A and B are shown apart, each in its own frame.
Chain A
Amino acid sequence: MKRLDALAFCARSLFAQRARTLLIVTAMTIGTAGVVVLTWLGDAARHFVTGQFDALGNNLVIVLPGRSETTGGAPPLLGETARDLTLEDADALLRSPAVRRLAPIVVGGAVVAFGSRSRETTVIGTTADFLPVRRLSLAAGRFLPDEANVCALGATVCTELFDAKSPLGEFVRVGNRRFRVAGVLASGGMSLGTDLDEMVALPVTQAQALFDSPGLFRIIAEATSKDAVQQAVTDVRRIVTARHDGEDDVTVITQDALSSTFDGILRALTLAVAGIAAISLLVAGILVMNVMVVAVAQRRAEVGLLKALGADASTIRSLFLGEAVLMSLLGGLGGLFLGELASRVLPHFAPALQPGVPLWAALAAGLVVLVSGVAFGTAPALRAARLDPVQALARR
């Protein structure tokens, strides 16, 4: 039997049973759409997170006090601080030729007030290089010029204290100290969960005094180039070890390692979620098998007739397998269409998601649905092909 004729034969048969066909195709469509949408969501989330890491800056090396036991490169959540990381340590790191610039960081919480307005906010103590290292920009003024009592405001803090007025030159109180507002950050900066719009930046020594702690929260150093990152890491370790009486008691993370760790985690998560969604395809596949088994039973006489007319086993097999595959294909196409549609519509409500199903996800979903059609259609088709023509033709 020619392929086109076989296709027409299958299509007629599916059309004759349109209610049943529609049911199966719908199940396949939902299954495929599920795989496609979840894969797309996972992938979009991964892009979002890695995008956040990239937005941190270029070729960053992050130095944290305390030795982390984890070797994978994930940030230590609880470092047992053997020795504080100090401002002097930070200055010493600049001796490495691989380090272009760095920003020591102290973090705490304090009340910031202007006149009668006040609010609780995050306070970051750092230096002027924080701005280029983190690739942030200012809305107005300068970021922590070399003076003792200056500060920079995050965009939200600024509007809450000053409304639309210019805060430049005004004095705000942070904790029990007064600082002149020298700069305002442009809004939109995010730093791994810390909203830079919601903070106040102080010179690092002022913050240390405010929180009464000589230790640094972390140091963010920028390597001179991508290739210099490893050199910078080695130098940082060497310098700190030398300064800490031979103890290598800091954790050094590179932005790349951090980014690729999260990338890997989210990739695995995406695959896991897609795999779970694929179970619905499995269910749809079992539905296909069930329907085909019933079809073969109902059409025994037809199989017998086709054999009497001279159809060989492979023809019978391909006719029944063809129906299963055709239903899977229709469902797969429907699912891809629905999935693509969802991935174009949903970003209108969640702009962080980038629209469009990745090609690999569409191909994978298409392949899975096709394979399930073949896998679940084969057994009933084989059964039909093996039917004894005499018994199949006999009336029951």
Chain B
Amino acid sequence: MIELQKVCRVFTVGGQAVHALRDVDLRVGRGEYLSLMGPSGSGKSTLLNVLGLLDRPTSGTYRFLGDDVTALDDDAQAKVRRLRIGFVFQTFHLVPRLTTAQNVALPLVLAEVPPAERQARVEAQLRAFGLLERSHHRPDELSGGQRQRTAIARATITRPELLLADEPTGNLDRATGADVVRVLENLHDEGITLLVVTHDQELGARAHRRLRMDDGRLVADVGHGLGDRRATEAT
């Protein structure tokens, strides 16, 4: 479902070029569970943003679900994000003035789902994530784990094919982190393609396929069929 070919992302800072991604080739199939690790500044978040259509590669091509999405304009990309991609952030990014239910409903509101259907889906989602009793609470009345679960519930309420999580447990203690990981893995079990960026070895090791980056390059791809790996390199 994901096919990156020689993707580069160059930032220019004070006249100097910073190569955040260097010739990244990557193929990801439907329903895979990947972790992405590497030292700070190696380009993990940049890769995630490119995959999530929040950022455009400086060069190279990106095919998502068979289509060359780098050619799409901003509004068309927004539509792909709206329907097919979910994001989970280290800092949750809940809208502080909205309740749990309203935060979770946001993607449906943006997708113009009618209110009655919206309400039913939000309720089902909150129940599935164990947040029903918290549905009228605001983010500042929730624990860290509950906040991240709310964020995941929001990211997945439109049933996207791809879920991208950038250090989803980075702001949580071990126990709540493990809880959040379980939630994510449950979603993967239900068929979602999951990519988790993390600094946590233990969490990274849980993924079926483990990617490693260094200085803008993909330097390791473990748990993936070797033939496939060669095929990617050959292109």
Contacts and interface: CB of A to CB of B under 8 A. Distances in A.
A75 B115 CA distance: 70
Interface stretch (B25-33, B35-43, B81-89, B218-226): B81-89
A310 B78 CA distance: 4
Given A1-B109, A1-B110, A306-B110, A311 B93 contact: no
A393 B85 CA distance: 16
Contacts of A2: 109, 112
Interface in A72-124: none
B81 A310 contact: yes
Interface string A4-29: 01000100110110000000000000
A310 B97 contact: no
A305 B95 contact: yes
A1 B74 contact: no
Contacts of A393: 54, 89, 93
Interface of A: 1-2, 5, 9, 12-13, 15-16, 301-302, 304-315, 389-390, 393, 395
Given A308-B54, A390-B55, A301 B93 contact: yes
Nearest to A12: B97
Contacts of B109: 1-2, 5, 9
Contacts of B79: 310, 312
Contacts of B111: 310
Given A309-B87, A310-B107, A389-B55, 9 more contacts: A2-B112, A302-B93, A308-B93, A310-B80, A310-B83, A310-B85, A313-B75, A390-B55, A393-B89
A12 B98 contact: yes
Contacts of A308: 52, 54, 81, 87, 93
Top 7 nearest A-B pairs (CB, nearest first) are A310-B82, A16-B97, A312-B78, A310-B81, A312-B75, A305-B93, A389-B54
A311 B54 contact: no
A313 B80 CA distance: 14
Contacts of B96: 16
Given A389-B54, A390-B54, A309 B91 contact: no
Contacts of A395: 91
A313 B74 contact: yes
A313 B73 CA distance: 11
A395 B93 CA distance: 10
Contacts of B81: 307-310
A2 B115 CA distance: 10
A383 to B, nearest CB: 16
Contacts of A311: 78, 82, 110
Nearest to A392: B54
Contacts of B78: 307, 310-313
29 contacts: A1-B109, A1-B112, A2-B109, A2-B112, A5-B109, A12-B98, A301-B93, A305-B95, A307-B54, A307-B78, A308-B81, A309-B87, A309-B106, A309-B107, A310-B78, A310-B80, A310-B81, A310-B82, A310-B110, A310-B111, A311-B110, A312-B75, A312-B79, A313-B74, A315-B110, A390-B54, A393-B89, A393-B93, A395-B91
Nearest to A385: B74
B82 A309 contact: yes
B166 to A, nearest CB: 9
B176 interface: no
Contacts of A305: 93, 95
Given A2-B112, A308-B81, A315-B110, A390 B49 contact: yes
Contacts of B107: 309-310
Q: Which of B75, B80, B83, B97 has the most CB of A within 10 A?
A: B97
B75 A13 contact: no
B52 A309 contact: no
Nearest to A315: B110
Contacts of B74: 312-313
A313 B110 CA distance: 12
A212 B98 CA distance: 90
A388 to B, nearest CB: 8
A56 B156 CA distance: 81
A311 B85 CA distance: 12
A257 to B, nearest CB: 62
Nearest to B154: A309
Contacts of A307: 54, 78, 81
A312 to B, nearest CB: 4
Most buried by A among B54, B55, B78, B106: B78
Interface in B90-105: 91, 93, 95-98, 102
A115 to B, nearest CB: 85
Contacts of B87: 308-309
Contacts of A9: 109
Nearest to B50: A390
A395 B52 CA distance: 18
A30 B85 CA distance: 47
Nearest to A301: B93
A56 to B, nearest CB: 65
Nearest to B80: A310
A1 B79 CA distance: 12
A394 to B, nearest CB: 9
A248 B195 CA distance: 101
A13 B52 contact: no
B229 to A, nearest CB: 29
Contacts of A314: 75
A16 B75 CA distance: 29
B53 to A, nearest CB: 9
B82 to A, nearest CB: 2
B38 to A, nearest CB: 18
